[in-house]
Amino acid sequence: MAPAHTDWLHHVMQVSGPPAELAAFRKAAAGAGTVPWRLDLDRMQEDFFLRLVDPGQRTLSVAGARVLAGQVRQAVGRRHALAVAQVGRSTACPFDLHALVPVPAFLLSLGPDDPDALAWLWAHWGITEPLRHVAADGRQPAGMWRLSFWAADWTPWRALQRIRSGWPMLVFDIRPTYER
């Protein structure tokens, strides 16, 4: 479902339709740009520690690796908490899949690496990670909105099918740009 190494594909999308409908869609599509997963920070710390003490790669003492793993855990926890606090409040991301096709709460508690969570993302979004570097183009004529983003391994066709059904008056044209 999710390859070992993510291939980020650049996309350009244009949405057009009646200006009032497009304005309502733009408002609904804006979000924090993150998924509020529950992270298993204890497991993450232990995994990081084990990589640091790998005999073939080790450059730190075991005690030093334990300290560094704890510091990374704290930094990841703080950063994630700040991002999650913006969900439902921030509109910094103009096209947020979680705002339009939200991940159910019971899956959020499983975390982003859980097979059931990944299966849901694949089935409902068509990708297994949130979009990245979402940017709306500058000024555009009324009734048209053009934006670009990077998607993990594929185009988010499944999310777009659901979004299209909820916004039948809008036309969605999306194209990957392979030359980037």
CATH for 124: 3.30.70
103 and 176 in a single domain? The answer is yes
Q: Examine the domain organization and report whether 15 and 65 are in the same domain.
A: no
Same domain, yes or no: 176 and 158: yes
Claim to verify: residue 75 and residue 153 sit in the same structural domain = no
Select from 71, 86, 101 the last residue of a domain: 86
- Residue 170: pLDDT above 80? yes
User: Which of 64, 86, 108 corresponds to the end of one domain?
Assistant: 86
Predicted confidence (pLDDT) per residue in 125-150, tens digit: 999 999 999 999 888 888 999 999 99
Question: Residue 180: pLDDT band by 50, 70, 90 thresholds?
Answer: low
Residues 54 and 30 in one domain: no
Phi-psi region of 164 (alpha: psi -120 to 50; beta: other; left: phi over 0): alpha
Q: Which pLDDT does position 141 carry in this prediction?
A: 86
The confidence band for 88, taking pLDDT boundaries of 50, 70 and 90, is confident
CA 126-128-130 angle, 5° bins: 100
How far apart CA 7 and CA 136 sit, in angstroms, is 22
Q: What is the mean pLDDT of residues 61-88?
A: 89
User: Do 19 and 8 share a structural domain?
Assistant: yes
Confidence of residue 108 (pLDDT cuts 50, 70, 90): very high
Reduced 3-state DSSP string for the chain: CCCCCCCEEEEEEEEECCHHHHHHHHHHHCECCCCCCCCCHHHHHHHHHHHHCCCCCCCCCHHHHHHHHHHHHHHHHHHHHHHHHCCCCCCCECCCHHHHCCCCHHHHCCCCCCHHHHHHHHHHCCCCCCCEEEEECCCCCCCEEEEEEEEECCCCHHHHHHHHHHCCCCEEEEEECCCC
Confidence of residue 106 (pLDDT cuts 50, 70, 90): very high
Percent of the chain with pLDDT over 70: 97
State residue 1's pLDDT score. 59
User: How far apart, in whole angstroms, are the C-alpha atoms of residue 61 and residue 171?
Assistant: 58
Calculate mean pLDDT across residues 80-102.
91
Neighbours of 133 (CB within 10 A): 11
Neighbours of 22 (CB within 10 A): 21
Q: How many structural domains does the chain have?
A: 2
| Segment 16-36 mean pLDDT | 96
Query: What predicted TM-score, i.e. pTM, was given to this entire model?
Result: 0.83
Examine the domain organization and report whether 50 and 131 are in the same domain: no
**80 and 141 inside one domain:** no
Burial class (CB in 10 A: 0-12, 13-18, 19+), 171: middle
Q: In terms of domains, do 57 and 124 share one? A: no
Range of the domain at 25: 1-34+91-180
Question: Based on the domain organization, do 96 and 162 belong to the same domain?
Answer: yes
Do 52 and 104 share a domain, yes or no? no
Q: What is the mean pLDDT of residues 22-49?
A: 93
Report the pLDDT value the prediction gives residue 109, as an integer from 0 to 100. Answer: 94
What pLDDT score does 2 carry? 59
Q: Are residues 172 and 102 in the same domain?
A: yes
